[in-house]
Amino acid sequence: MNCTTLETTHMAEIFIFVAGGSPQIITETIQALALQVPSILPDELHIITTSEGKRIIKKALLDDGRLSRFFAEFGFPPVAFNEASFYLPTGVDGRELSDLKSSGDNETMGDLITEFIRAQADRTGVRLHCSLAGGRKTMSFYLGAALELFGRTQDKLYHVHISPEFEGTNFYYRPKRNEKILRTYDKAELNTDDAAVFLSELPFIRMRDKLQLKGVAGQSFSALVRQGQIALDTAPQQPKVRVNLKEDRFLIGETPMELTATQLAIYTAFLKLKLDSCLFAQRPYCKDEEGAACTGCFQNLDALLQPERVAELADNYAVIHTRKEPGEARRIMELRGEKNKMAGWLDDGKDGFCRRNLRTHTTKINRALREQLNDATLASQFTIQSAQGRWSHFSGYGILVDKNNIVLE
């Protein structure tokens, strides 16, 4: 009999702190996680702070040796803690920020936290343990928000606090042996045996796989929020539009749509025009920077009736009728002696018939879509529209549906 040995894969435990002038939250969090069941001990320590916060934390935990004594007293394996453990934001002048005084300072810190969490969450074989107990309140917000954008199932968010009477004292952790007396600022005496450390795991919504943010490395927090909001706004409202000309199949979401061969050929050309003529390929969605609908790919009627576009219309029409690929479809229609009426639009274009014909068909297409969808909001995303809101020779025309939701099979 063959036996297979299953080995438990160890995940590296990455402890991440936002901190300011209270280095105690670092040792308190480590102790709370280390003494719980099952115990969680850090493999790496990362502290996001300001230059002033670094000075305070470095003196208390590194220079004064509190962190190494803490690990030694409890018999925990030591973890690297040095200059490389700190991450500080820099201002426009290139200097490290000593505090977060302006909205710009807060945005800079937010961008640092967001990018750091993104990079850490992209690592395989690690679990993030993030503490938001220290630092400015804006730092705590950014840490929680960054985890919502990029956090995975295994990643955790915590808040830690101690018994109220110990707040603001020189308490760093509860000693394993030998009670210790602390003096408060008003010279009262406290016994560390009476200290209680409370660790709360905070739930958060994990949107990493839902938003599927694109090209996010190095983007600002504000840009990521805009992109995420667009993704949320687009996802539930816009089903995919699927067209298979060879099978004469046209679906919006799961709803089969019925158009004539001429109408489907025209509608498919508009969909392809959107995919081929995007002016902002770097944008992941068809929205501008403010989240408004982008009409950069819309074209006026003359552009739509250029020879290459009319030839495309004719190919679409031939494929629908013959259920063959475009080249073969054209030959079959020629052999059958069938007229491809759309190919004749090239000759008719001189007297304006072609433009009038196109407008007539788009009006019929829109009427059919509205009737079959029976949802005005949904139909507005899939009908052929004017960028100016009205039909005009000079206006651009197109479909608002997001380019990611177009499937031409």
Give the residue extent of every domain in the chain.
Answer: 12-226, 238-408
SS (H, E, C) 131-167: ECCCCCHHHHHHHHHHHHHHCCCCCEEEEEEECHHHC
pLDDT, tens only, 221-237: 888 888 787 777 666 56
The whole-number pLDDT of residue 276 equals: 86
Phi and psi dihedrals of 293, rounded to 5?
-60, 135
Residue-level pLDDT at 7: 37
Query: Which pLDDT score, from 0 to 100, does residue 351 have?
Result: 42
The predicted pLDDT at position 5 comes to 33
Residue 305 CB-half CA count within 13 A:
21
* Positive/negative CA dihedral, 84, 86, 90, 96: negative
| Pairwise CA distance, residues 85 & 83, whole Å | 5
Q: To the nearest 5 percent, what fractions of the chain are helix, strand and coil?
A: 45, 15, 40
**What 3-state class would DSSP assign to 242?**
strand
- Which pLDDT belongs to residue 393? 58
* pTM over cut 0.75: no
pLDDT of residue 238: 73
Q: Which of 174, 168, 170 is nearest to 199 (CA)?
A: 174
Encoded tokens for 254? 């799961």
What was the pLDDT predicted at 369? 95
Whole-angstrom CA distances from 88 to 85, 97, 181, 205 are 10, 7, 35, 27
User: Model confidence over 32-43: pLDDT tens digits?
Assistant: 999 888 999 999
**Which residues of the chain fall short of a pLDDT of 70?**
1-9, 163, 167-179, 181-188, 193-194, 212-216, 233-237, 282, 284-285, 287-292, 338-355, 388-394
